[in-house]
């Protein structure tokens, strides 16, 4: 049996961390769905910057809309949503078959809004309305300013993918925002079934400490953080608070493993996928990791509900001088800044193409 199918049978969803217009048109996404059990898709500014800059597939749309769309940001959102609607439609049968648990795509609000609560709420509302698809998650960063935006968006019935989470504490703050949003919906007599995932970034931990820890600890920190967070996730799902909401029809905000492509060229391409095989989670992977896992990955013992030996592993990192709380905060700040850089590069590319193509 294909390893990707084994993950699905274990109870983990495998989502693609990529989107291009060509993969939608040439059947690649459908092949991933059919052959590799892919049941969702995520995007971010970096992915779209590569997609738009790496081909002429978007040129016709940019040329057609260059003179009618007000800003470069609006033009980008317009063409990005074209792709995401197509992907959402391809995944719609999965979404319907799973009762809305799976079959999602994701679109990010402007990274410039990472510390802007009101702006994030309005951007999420705009994207949700423009998309016109029930299986599109809007990405909002799990920053301190993002948390009230997440709660409000959930209350308004906007499905949310919380991005840029790096620690158990950041995850729990996100889960609290989600639960408050659902509780407010129930109090208001609204449907509590609002989709959401909480995306914990994994491999960036290991890249950050690669030169600061002994060789025997390399490529183990991200997995240990994942184990600690998974334990908290399982405890939340078993809590009286969530069980009461579930009885009213609420869904779990699923824990999603993000950044699971291996950064260390000396490590296995499938390192994080194999180590973080866990029921009731999502793993979003880039194409090369998906292909590698489908060809030669293995599915062994799933991650234990108690996180396994995560706490012992984390203690070893702390003994080696790693301040986990400080590094988690730094990784979130760095991640937000990186997405801002990608966003600016993306809009610069859109502006350049808009000027060149619009004049033809």
Sign of CA dihedral 275, 280, 285, 289: positive
- H-helix segments, the chain: 3-10, 21-25, 28-36, 45-53, 59-65, 72-97, 117-131, 146-155, 168-187, 203-209, 221-237, 240-247, 271-275, 287-296, 310-319, 324-358
| 283 contacts: CB under 8 Å, gap ≥ 6 | 7, 12, 13, 14, 15, 256, 257, 260, 272, 273, 276, 277
Q: Which residues are the active-site residues?
A: 139
Residue 216 has pLDDT above 70, yes or no: yes
Contact, 40 vs 13, CB < 8 A? yes
Please give the Cα distance from 222 to 224 (Å, whole number): 5
Residue 55 has pLDDT above 60, yes or no: yes
Backbone angles phi, psi at 97, to 5 degrees: -65, -30
Q: pLDDT per residue over 237-264, tens digit each? A: 999 999 999 999 999 999 999 999 999 9
Contact, 48 vs 112, CB < 8 A? no
Residue 18 has pLDDT above 80, yes or no: yes
Residue 359 has pLDDT above 80, yes or no: no
Averaged pLDDT for residues 13-40: 97
Task: Report helix, strand or coil for 140.
Answer: strand
What pLDDT does 278 receive? 98
Backbone angles phi, psi at 158, to 5 degrees: -95, 120
How many CB atoms lie under 10 A from the CB of residue 335?
22
Contact, 258 vs 202, CB < 8 A? yes
Q: pLDDT per residue over 317-335, tens digit each? A: 999 999 999 999 999 999 9
Averaged pLDDT for residues 115-130: 98
Helix axes 72-97, 117-131, angle to 10 degrees: 60
Residue 358 has pLDDT above 80, yes or no: no
Residue 341 has pLDDT above 60, yes or no: yes
Backbone angles phi, psi at 161, to 5 degrees: -105, 110
Residue 1 has pLDDT above 80, yes or no: no
Q: 199: exposed, middle or buried (C-beta count within 10 Å: 0-12, 13-18, 19+)?
A: buried
What pLDDT does 356 receive? 84
Please give the Cα distance from 233 to 29 (Å, whole number): 30
Averaged pLDDT for residues 77-83: 96
What pLDDT does 271 receive? 98
Q: pLDDT per residue over 160-175, tens digit each? A: 999 999 999 999 999 9
Q: pLDDT per residue over 82-121, tens digit each? A: 999 999 999 999 999 999 999 999 999 999 999 999 999 9
Average model confidence (pLDDT) for the chain? 96
**Domain interval for residue 326:** 3-358
CATH code: domain of residue 330: 3.20.20.70
Contact, 5 vs 30, CB < 8 A? no
Task: Report helix, strand or coil for 154.
Answer: helix
Task: Report helix, strand or coil for 268.
Answer: coil
Percent of the chain with pLDDT over 90: 93
Domain count, the chain: 1
Residue 357 has pLDDT above 90, yes or no: no
What pLDDT does 69 receive? 86
| 197 contacts: CB under 8 Å, gap ≥ 6 | 104, 137, 161, 162, 253, 254, 255, 256, 282
Q: State the DSSP H helix or E strand holding residue 254, giving kind and residue range, or none if neither.
A: strand 254-258
Please give the Cα distance from 87 to 103 (Å, whole number): 9
Residue 360 has pLDDT above 60, yes or no: no
How many CB atoms lie under 10 A from the CB of residue 334?
15
């Amino acid at each position: 049996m294909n390893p990707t199918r084994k993950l699905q049978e274990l109870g983990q969803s495998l989502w693609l961390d990529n989107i291009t217009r060509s993969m939608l048109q040439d059947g690649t996404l459908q092949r991933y769905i059919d052959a590799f059990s892919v049941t969702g898709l995520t995007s971010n500014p970096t992915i779209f910057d590569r997609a738009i800059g790496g081909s002429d597939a978007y040129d016709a749309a940019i040329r057609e809309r260059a003179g009618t769309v007000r800003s470069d940001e609006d033009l980008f959102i317009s063409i990005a949503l074209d792709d995401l609607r197509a992907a959402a439609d391809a995944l719609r049968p999965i979404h319907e078959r799973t009762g809305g648990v799976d079959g999602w795509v994701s679109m990010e609000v402007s990274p410039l809004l990472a510390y802007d609560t009101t702006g994030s709420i309005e951007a999420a509302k705009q994207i949700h309305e423009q998309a016109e698809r029930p299986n599109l998650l809007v990405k909002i960063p799990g920053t301190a300013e993002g948390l009230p935006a997440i709660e409000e968006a959930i209350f308004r019935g906007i499905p949310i993918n919380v991005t840029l989470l790096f620690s158990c504490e950041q995850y729990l703050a996100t889960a609290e925002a989600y639960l408050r949003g659902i509780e407010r919906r129930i109090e208001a007599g609204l449907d509590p079934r609002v989709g959401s995932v909480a995306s914990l970034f994994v491999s960036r931990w290991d890249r950050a400490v690669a030169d600061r820890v002994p060789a025997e600890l390399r490529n183990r920190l991200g997995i240990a953080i994942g184990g600690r967070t998974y334990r908290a996730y399982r405890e939340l799902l078993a809590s009286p608070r969530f069980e009461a909401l579930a009885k009213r029809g609420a869904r779990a905000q699923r824990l999603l493993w993000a950044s699971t492509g291996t950064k260390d060229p000396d490590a296995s391409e499938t390192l994080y996928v194999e180590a973080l095989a866990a029921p009731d989670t999502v793993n979003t992977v880039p194409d090369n990791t998906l292909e590698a896992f489908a060809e030669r990955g293995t599915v062994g013992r799933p991650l234990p509900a108690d996180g396994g030996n995560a706490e012992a592993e984390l203690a070893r990192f702390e003994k080696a001088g790693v301040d986990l709380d400080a590094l988690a905060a730094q990784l979130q700040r760095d991640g937000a800044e990186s997405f801002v850089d990608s966003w600016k590069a993306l809009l610069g590319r859109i502006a350049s193409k808009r000027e060149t193509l619009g004049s033809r």
